[in-house]
Structures are given as structure tokens and as C-alpha cells.
Structure 1
Amino acid sequence: MIVITTPTGDIGSQLLTTLLSHDEELRVIVRDPAKLPDAVRGRVDIVTGSHGDPEVVGKAFADADAVFWIVPPNSQAVSLEAAFSGFTRAAADAFTSSGVTHVVGVSALGRGTPVAGSAGLVTASLAMDDLIGGTGVAYRALANPSFMDNLLRQVSSIRDHGVFTDTVAPDRLAPSASTGDIAAVAARLLLDRSWTGVDSVPVLGPEDISAADMARIMSDVLGRPIRYERETLETLGARLTGFGLGDAFVGGMVDMMRAKENGLDDGVARTVENSTPTTFRQWCELVLKPAVNA
């Protein structure tokens, strides 16, 4: 039995689709079962509620072998510790009491880098990994860079103004991965379960790429000029605050982006094993272009 948290989210939904094609018992934790596709609801066991709730995870993890774990974003959390480790604590207790043996979690690159302790959201995510790893389960933290799919938040700007923004230098090369590839790595680990101990699994995408490269590729794929505009960290913080996000989350995002500029994602050497297949051009063709044209 595999338990999937966030089954209607970007990574969780793609993982669920993959696992449904295999001979595995599946259980999902979801706040609103109506958000699951009709074809899915009859094929999985559903536990309704939040996976931060001790009663919910206790019920969901009963008789389960493995769990896919994602902490949902909480822009109003009083602290980053509460948003990550605090949310995970009930599940960590339930892993042990329920007999779960394997957990795959979505985390971030950065462990072991000089900026890992001051990287905001990433620092909190790495502390969450330590909490899970300390329970005694076999744990694999998917160490991810920035997601290609984050650009979907800027579809309107790309469509209407031909502009996307970030805080990194335009020529700074960094890894970037598609959420589809992240889900595929999670599926492989959850279906195998021969691994032991605690470790991280970097998911680096196929190549390092800059914002300038992204603008060029988007322009080519979309058939219109797309340009990159760099915003300051101060502007980013003010914009997020203007959206009503809480101080802890805004500070965590700003600190994370500062750390990325200072090498947070540069600590893992690229290998065949940690390079995933979807190129940024392929992602633009398969995901961004349909979204922009919708």
C-alpha cells in the first residue's frame, strides 16, 4: 500500500497517474475528494482531511508500506518551522506507530552548501528531512532545483506582455527540472522499495540553463518575443507582501532566492543518474505553449 499526499497537486497528480498503471494498492489523503478525477475516485482508497492532522495520518498510514510526502505551501504560517517540521510532526510520529517502512519526500537542493543555513524555505525543508530521517524509516528526499513549472504562475504576463521575471542574474546557469520528471523519480522509488537508510536524490533536469536561455527558447517556441526582467529581492518581497502573504513566508522566499544567487543549487555535480530527461524546450512545447494559448 502506497499513500500519496497532495494527490491533486502538480507533482502528486502526475505521480498518482503513473502509479495507477501499476499493480499497487493506493490510498490518497485529500481535503476535497471532489477534486479527484472521476476515473480516479473509484480506484483508490480515500482518506479525507489534512495530512497535518494526527487523526487523519494515523488512519491513512494504517497497513501502508510507503508514503509520498509533500508539505503544502502555507503563506500564512507563523514561522517556517511551523510550516515544514511543525506540519510534518504528526506524520513523523505516525510513520513509526503505523509501521510505514519507506517515505519519499519532496525537498530541495542545498544541503552541505555554505548558504544552506540561511536559505529560508529551503533551510526549513532540509530540517523537515532531518525530522523524517530521524524516525527510522527508509527515507529519500528528492533534492530539487527550481521547477520549470513555476513559470506557469506568469502565464498572463508572458501572454499579454511578453515578459517573465525572477531575481537571478540573466546569464547565471542553474539546474531546472520539470515536475513531471520529479514525479517520475518518485514513482520509481516508491515502486522499488529495496532501498534502505536515509539519503537525498538530486533531480537536476537535463542541463543547466539561464534566464536568458529561457527567454530565447520561449520566444522560439511561442513564436513571439519574450524577454526576461530581473527584479530586486526588495521588489520581490514587497510584491509578495502586497498579495497578502505572511511575513514568515515572504522572508523565507526572499532568503531562498538570495541563496540561489549565491550558489544554493550548485553543490551537486551533474551525473547521468541525477539528470532527468525533459529539456526546457520540450517543457515549453508540452506545457507552457498550451497554457499560453488557452
Structure 2
Amino acid sequence: MTAPPIGVTGATGHIGGLVARHLDAAGRPQRLLVRSPGSPRLRDPASVTGVRRVDYAEHDLSVVALRGVSVLLMVSGHESATRAADHATFIDAAADAGVKHVVYTSFAAAAPDATFTLARDHYATEEHLKASGMAWTFLRDTFYLDLMAELVGPDGVIRGPARDGRCAFVARADVARVAAAVLMAPDAHAGATYDLTGPQGLSLSDVARVISDVDGRDVTFHDETVEEAYASRAPYEAPPWQVAAWVSTYTAIASGVMAEPSDAVERLTGVPPTDLETFLRAR
């Protein structure tokens, strides 16, 4: 009897795309669940049994796409003012479609009062999953190592109210390796929450130094006040929720809540997590 396909959302993105490659290498049947089935970014591994369109905000569409899927990777949706509600709609669709187990990419220290404002959406999603009747596994990653170089402004300065706080930044590739491992043995991880981190806690001064060393340019960190951070981002004319998310990225680092590395990546995959210097040199 053929095993039901593993459902993979976000297959045109970073995490979902990497997970799809891991599952293909392992020969595990999978169904890719995407917003744009015609996207040129959509890879079509040999293990794919189908591609279906989903939209987290559209219950009925998602139910049709999810029927026949037993284990599902739910990559958190794009940042928006309605993300928590959209997540809840999709979770309800998964339950109605007969999905048995959801592996969700959450965020470190998810809580209703989390300093990083978007982590509050992740907490709400976790709680909705717990109440859904489906088995669940939460992958709580820290901020992505992959994005550190993008924090550097055109003047070579990283700006934000992070003080000397540290974060054990994690590589997307490491998160994807863990997700694939969990999806291929879901019963062993039912009800588990894993904190996914890099190998060490780094301050943004540390990040600036490593980027300087690797890229051969002068990069520094300027510790803004919270008031300065809001003012410096005002010209982007982004909605208030988004500006709060940008600023709280740095205040969450300042809080130290993501400073301590965990052993989860190596324990679950057998491979140590990537450090910043190694990542930057491999670009």
C-alpha cells in the first residue's frame, strides 16, 4: 500500500523548497501546496505526487488541496495584519480535510506578550493547533542567519535598539533539515516543541565584525534608542504593525530571550548547526 503524500506548504519559498528537496532525496512521496502553482520558482522533484493551490485565508480551497495528506508541513505565512486569523482558517481546513499531524514553523519564545510582536501570532497559531484535535510539532526558530548581511545599511551600519543583547541566529537550511527529519518520522515528535538555533549567541556588534572580516569591508553596529528606531523607519510609510515588528526585532535581541543555543539541530539531524562565518563564506 502506497503511503499518503507528505504535504509541503511554501514549496516556492526558502524553507518549503529546501524541505521538498530533502524529502525527494529520501524518496518520500509529497504533495506541494502553494499559492501559485505556475510559479517559475516551483521545483518538481520526482517524488511529487501532485501540486495543489492553497491560500491560508481560503478554507474550502485548502480543504480540497489537503485531502489525502496525513502529515503536513505548515510554513508560517507572510507577515500581515491578518496572519494569525489566516493561520487559524488553514488549520481548520487541515482538520476538516483529515490531516493527522501538523509540523508548524513557529518562532522562539512565542507568547501572548512576546517582545517580538510577530511571535504573538505564532503563539496564537500554536494554541489553535493544540485545540484542533490533530497531532502537532512546533519548530521554534530564532531569527535567520541568512538575513544578517541584509541588516547592513548602504553606509555599512547596522542600526537598531539591540543594545548588547545576543541571539543564536539559525540558518534556514538547518531549520529545513530538522523539518524534513520530523516529517519523515512524525510519531516520534508528536507534541514536541523544538527550539532551533545556531551554535552560538551573537550580539549585533559580533555580527558586524564577522561580516567585516568575511567581506573585507567596514561594518559597524549603532545601538539606536527605541525612539530613534521608529523615527529612522518612518520614511518607509509602512503600517504601524509592520514598523512595530521591525523595531521589536531588535528589542527582542536586546532582551536576551534568544541568546542561548540549543542542541536540537544536531540532535535531530546528526549535523551541527551552521555558524555565521561559515554561512557567509559559502554564499
Q: If the TM-score is normalised by the length of the shorter chain, which range does it land in?
A: 0.7 to 0.9
Question: Is structure 2 residue 213 aligned with structure 1 residue 208?
Answer: no
Q: Is the 8 A contact 1:212 1:228 kept in 2?
A: yes
Q: Report deviation, 1:10.
A: 1.9
The 3 A distance-change label for structure 1 pair 259 and 227 is closer
- CA–CA separation in structure 2 for the residues paired with 1:180 and 1:226: 25
Q: Report deviation, 1:118.
A: 5.0
Q: Is the 8 A contact 1:71 1:87 kept in 2?
A: no
Q: Is the 8 A contact 1:110 1:116 kept in 2?
A: no
Aligned to 2:130: 133
Aligned to 2:229, the other structure's residue is in SS state helix
Question: Is structure 2 residue 38 aligned with structure 1 residue 34?
Answer: yes
- CA–CA separation in structure 2 for the residues paired with 1:65 and 1:239: 47
Gaps of 5+ in 2: 267-271
Q: Is the 8 A contact 1:106 1:143 kept in 2?
A: yes
Letter in 1 for 2:198: G
- CA–CA separation in structure 2 for the residues paired with 1:192 and 1:283: 28
TM-score by length of 1: 0.82
Aligned to 2:247: 254
Q: Report deviation, 1:185.
A: 0.8
Count of aligned pairs between the two proteins: 273
Question: Is structure 2 residue 77 aligned with structure 1 residue 72?
Answer: yes
Aligned to 1:17: 21
Aligned to 2:158: 164
Question: Bigger CA drift: 51-60 or 257-266?
Answer: 257-266
Letter in 1 for 2:160: D
Question: Bigger CA drift: 124-133 or 93-102?
Answer: 93-102
Q: Report deviation, 1:47.
A: 1.2
- CA–CA separation in structure 1 for the residues paired with 2:276 and 2:171: 8
RMSD of the alignment, in Å? Answer: 2.6
- CA–CA separation in structure 2 for the residues paired with 1:11 and 1:240: 28
Question: Is structure 2 residue 60 aligned with structure 1 residue 55?
Answer: yes
- CA–CA separation in structure 2 for the residues paired with 1:213 and 1:152: 12
- Relative to its length, the structure with more helix (as a share) is 1
TM-score by length of 2: 0.85
The 3 A distance-change label for structure 1 pair 142 and 38 is closer
Aligned to 2:278, the other structure's residue is in SS state helix
Q: Report deviation, 1:264.
A: 2.9
Aligned to 1:264, the other structure's residue is in SS state coil
- CA–CA separation in structure 1 for the residues paired with 2:227 and 2:282: 33
Q: Report deviation, 1:111.
A: 4.6
Q: Deviations over 1:225-246 (max 9, x none)?
A: 2222233333433454432422
Q: Is the 8 A contact 2:104 2:139 kept in 1?
A: yes
The 3 A distance-change label for structure 1 pair 179 and 264 is same
Structure ranking higher on relative contact order (CA contacts 8 Å, 6+ apart): 1
Gaps of 5+ in 1: 288-294
Q: Paired residue for 1:233, among 226, 231, 240? A: 226
Question: Is structure 2 residue 149 aligned with structure 1 residue 145?
Answer: no
- CA–CA separation in structure 1 for the residues paired with 2:18 and 2:45: 15
- CA–CA separation in structure 2 for the residues paired with 1:153 and 1:261: 19
Letter in 2 for 1:107: S
- CA–CA separation in structure 1 for the residues paired with 2:201 and 2:208: 14
